[in-house]
Structure formats: structure tokens, C-alpha cells
Amino acid sequence: MLAARAALQVVGQCRQLAAKVVARSVRGGLDFMRRQFQGGTEKPDAEPLSDEARLDAKRMNWLPMRTEVLYGERAHAAETNLLERDSKLGGKHYPAADALLAKLLAQVTGQHDYSFQLFILKNASRNAVARPGGFLYLDQGLIDDPIQLPKAHFALAHEIAHVLQRHETRELQGMIVDSFSTRDEMQKAIANVRTDPAAVLANVKVGKDIYARHHADQELQADSCAARLLARVYNEPRELAHALDAFLKDLPAPEAQSAPAAAPNSSAPPMDSKTATQAAELAALTHEIVASPAARHPTTQERTDNLKAIYAEINAGITP
Amino acid sequence: MKSVAPIASLLALLLACSATQATECVGLIENLKQESREQSGWRAMLSQLLDGQHCSSARTVLDKYRNRKVVAGRKLEDDKPLDVAAAQANLDQALADPAISDLFAKARAATSDEIALTLYQATILDAEGYYLARDLLVRRLSEKGKD
């Protein structure tokens, strides 16, 4: 499946395995946040936040590690599908899972403050999960069948990358930033929604599209970092190709792309062509906002193309 | 349909239990018994069938039955729908195990409550690692409608 030397662009670049999560970076981010948002929503008549300031706030690394770990701990506490270590099956499967984690972490160089913890989920499927603070989860279906070992390597490397890149934490930061608002912004939105609903919906969709694309790009970055991490683990390129193939083969078949059709409204009076076009566009816009998930994985084709490109880079000795 | 409040409070208590299996099991069993004093039904029967065993698996099954999911986190890929054929094969494999079929037969003899019986069976399947079969039973029960 993986052709050598594919001349494709790696979308999700993995410039370094661990994003800078040092105290100085977090402190600098906090100072920035304080300067930008001093007073916050207690000043309802304050000027609206500029897009640049909002985007900067989302990109900066300001959420303290302690907060991230607490967030991860809270999510972990709600997880009840864990295979217990001291159970019969736990005793059988955790040694292999722990060994896999140790093997991968041995290749993670660069400073980071994470204490990774690995858990097995009682699922026959072959998925994996990462939560902030270093909480990692593998489906038992990846561990209990030796045939799945190559995909297990990729899956765990992918999740480690999510943690080291602080993807979920950055999204949490983004959601917090989005909760900042002023009265001025709200008044404008309410005034516009009746007279120009498309403009309001377009703003919502743009925001959602940015979020969705950002989320998908983070997944591609995690894929790329997983490939680079595995390249350090495996001695032979063939082994890396085998792991990547094992993952790609398990993805759903490439999706057919189709645009949502506007629902016909037989009770409405006939429209001129311009109005009909605008109505169709508005319907399509609304459908996309409502029907498409904001947080989605990249398509199978996107992931395949990205991994082909990163594999070619690795074999060519190209580093970011 | 009975009120969701009792099972919601049960699940809340489950989450508040400590990490040790014994303490969690006590919390699960005690709550099922408490609710059995308040209202009869499958909860009381399930408590009897469990008899202090497989509490971690019971918690997993109850959460699945109530479709309770932890949202936070980044997955490797989107979840795939249940492969019903594979799940049925998994169930057939489990039933071929004399120890499991024996437990199921004893439970069937002890109760005619379909919900309690199915959740108990799903609990046993979870404990023994037959996850596809577990999910199949829970799904069938959910599709029948909850009490």
C-alpha cells in the first residue's frame, strides 16, 4: 500500500515530538492572557475582542500543567470500561501493554513533564484514546491478538503524540477563550439575525470550519508524529511500513464526497433564480452547520496521503 | 417508563466509590439493595444474581445500558458500529463454554425478569472477555425499550 518516495506534502508536520511545555512557556502565556483579558466579562461595554487577539490566545501555551492533569484526572475518573490490572485478563494483557509503552517512551527525547499512565479498555475493537495529563487507553482488541501488534504500535504512538503536542489542552484553551464575550458582540448578533441570517450563519460556520479543520489537522499531526516515533523504534523501514499499513487497512473505505441538497419546500411561492440560489445556499449552510460534526477525524484519504508523505520523508532522511 | 432518577443516583454513587474493587462492589450492591427497598423490579433481581460478584463488570454493563459515555479525549479513529454477525459468533463461542452456560442456566432458573437476566448475562460476558457478545446483549435490551 505504501509506495516509496511518494512526492506528496506532509500535511500534519511533526517538528518535534514534545511541544514546549516548560514553565517559562506557560508563564509567558499566562502573562499574555492577563494583559489581553484584564477585566474580562465584568466590563460588558468593552470593545469586542479582535480576531487576532482571540486566535493568539488560542494558540499560546498558557494552561498550567497542573490544570491539565486535573482535567485529565476528572475525565479518567468517569471512565468505567477499564480492564482491571489485577483481574484474570488484566494479568494476561497489561504486561504486553506496559512493555509497548516503555518501548515507545524510550524513544521520546526532549523535555516534557508528563507521567504517562496506560489503561486497557474492555473493547473488542481496535481503537485508542488519549486524555490530557498523560492518560492513555488501548482497546483490548489491539493487545489480545498478536496480529494487531503493528497497529497497536501505531495507535499508542499516535496517542502519545496527542498528549505531547497538548492537542486536547489547546482545544480546551480555545473553548475557554470563546466563552469571553462582550455585550456589544451579543447585541450585534441579535440585531443581524433577522435581517441577514446568512451573514450570521456564515460567521458560525467559519468558526466551526476553522475548529473542525484544526481538529482534523491535529489528527494528521499526531499520525505524522507517530510515524516518526515508530521510525526510531523499528530497525527496518519494512517494519515501519507494516505498522502504518496495519493502521490504514483498518480504516473505513474512502468516503464518497457529496454536497447536501437543499430540501424542497413545495408550499413556498415560486422564487426568481437569484432568490432561489440564495435560499439554496442558506439551506446548504444550515445543513452543514447542523449535520457535520465539529470534531471529526480526517478522511481515510487524507490520512493515507499524509502517511505516505511522511513515510517518504522518513526514508529520505528528511527532518522538519 | 420508570423514572431515570434512581439509576442516575446509582451511577453517581458508583462514580464516587473508591478505587478498590471491594469498596466499589459494596457501593454497587448496597445501592441496588436500597433501590430494591424503594421499588421492586430488575434492580433487586440483578442485585440478587450478582451476589457481590463481578461488580466492575456490572458497572461497565450498566453504563453501556444507560448509554453513558466519557466524551473527553482524542481517539485514534472514529468508533465503528457493532458487527452483529461477529457479535453473534462471539456469543455462540461464549455459550459453548460450559462454565458460562451453567451460570446462565442458573440465572434463568432464578428469575424471569428479562432485564435483570440480560444484564447479568452481559456482566458475565464482560468478566470473561466476550465484549462483542456483551455489547450485542445490551443493544438488544436497549432496542426493546427500557423500563
A135-181, pLDDT tens digit by residue?
999 999 999 999 999 999 999 999 999 999 888 887 776 665 565 55
State the average pLDDT over residues B2-9.
42
Element (H, E) at A250: none
Chain A CB contacts of B93 below 8 Å: none
With beta carbons less than 8 A apart as the criterion, state whether A96 and A78 touch. Answer: no
- Residue A27 and residue A300: Cα distance in Å, rounded? 39
Which residue of chain B is at minimal alpha-carbon distance from A81?
B60
Looking at residue A234, the DSSP 8-state letter turns out to be -
Residue A90 has which C-alpha cell? 488484566
A122:B79 CB<8 A: no
Residue A77 contacts B where some CB pair is shorter than 8 Å: yes
Q: How far apart are CA A33 and CA A45, in angstroms?
A: 19
* Residue A73 pLDDT greater than 80, yes or no: yes
Cβ-based neighbours of A42, under 8 Å, separated by 6 or more:
none
Residue B127 burial (C-beta neighbours within 10 Å; 0-12, 13-18, 19+): buried
Handedness of CA B102, B106, B111, B116 (dihedral sign): negative
Instruction: Determine the Cα–Cα distance for residues B76 and A269; give it in Å rounded to an integer.
Output: 49
Mean pLDDT of chain A: 74
For A206-249, write each residue's pLDDT tens digit: 555 566 677 788 889 899 999 999 999 998 889 999 999 999 88
Q: Given a cut of 70, is residue A65 above it in pLDDT?
A: yes
Least confident of A8-17, A23-32, A175-184, B107-116: A23-32
**pLDDT over 50 (residue A258):** no
pLDDT band at A5 (very low <50, low <70, confident <90, very high): very low
Task: Give the one of B56, B73, B76 whose C-beta lies nearest to A84's C-beta.
Answer: B56
In three-state secondary structure terms, A166 is: coil
Residue pairs spanning A and B at CB distance below 8 A: 77
Query: How do residues B83-138 score in pLDDT, each as one tens digit?
Result: 999 999 999 999 999 999 999 999 999 999 999 999 999 999 999 999 999 999 99
Cell of A94: 497489561
Distance CA A303, CA A282 (A): 31
Helix (H) or strand (E) holding A311: helix A300-315
Q: Which of A207, A196, A220, A304 is nearest to B76 (CA)?
A: A220
Q: Do A297 and B15 touch (CB under 8 A)?
A: no
Give phi and psi for A119, each to the nearest 5: -130, 150
Cβ-based burial of B36 (10 A; exposed 0-12, middle 13-18, buried ≥19): middle
Q: Output Rg (C-alpha) for chain B, integer angstroms.
A: 15
Query: Within a 10 A sphere around the Cβ of A180, how many other Cβ atoms?
Result: 16
Closest by Cβ to B60, choosing from A71, A80, A144: A80
If you measure CA to CA, which chain B residue comes closest to A221? Answer: B76
Chain A residue with minimum CA distance to B130: A124
Query: Starting from the edge strand earliest in sequence, which strands make up the sheet with A117-121, in order?
Result: A117-121, A135-139, A128-131, B74-75
More confident residue, A205 or B135: B135
Q: What angle do CA A80, A82, A83 make, to 5 degrees?
A: 145
Helix H or strand E segment including A270? none
Chain A residues whose CB is inside 8 A of the B79 CB are 125, 127
Please tell me the distance in Å from A219's CA to the nearest CA on chain B: 8
Q: Beta strand pairing status for A135-139 and B74-75?
A: unpaired
B63, closest residue in chain A (CA to CA)? A80
Of B56, B73, B80, the CB nearest to A129: B73
Average of per-residue pLDDT across A70-77 = 82
Q: What average pLDDT does range A186-205 have in this prediction?
A: 50
Cell numbers linked to A305: 496521503
Higher pLDDT, A26 or A70: A70
Interface pTM, i.e. ipTM: 0.78
Q: Which residues of A, range 240-269, sit inside 8 Å of B by Cβ?
A: 247, 250-252
Cβ atoms of residues A13 and A314 within 8 Å: no
Q: How far is CA B113 from the centre of its chain?
A: 14
The torsion region of residue B145 among left (phi > 0), alpha (psi -120 to 50) and beta comes to left
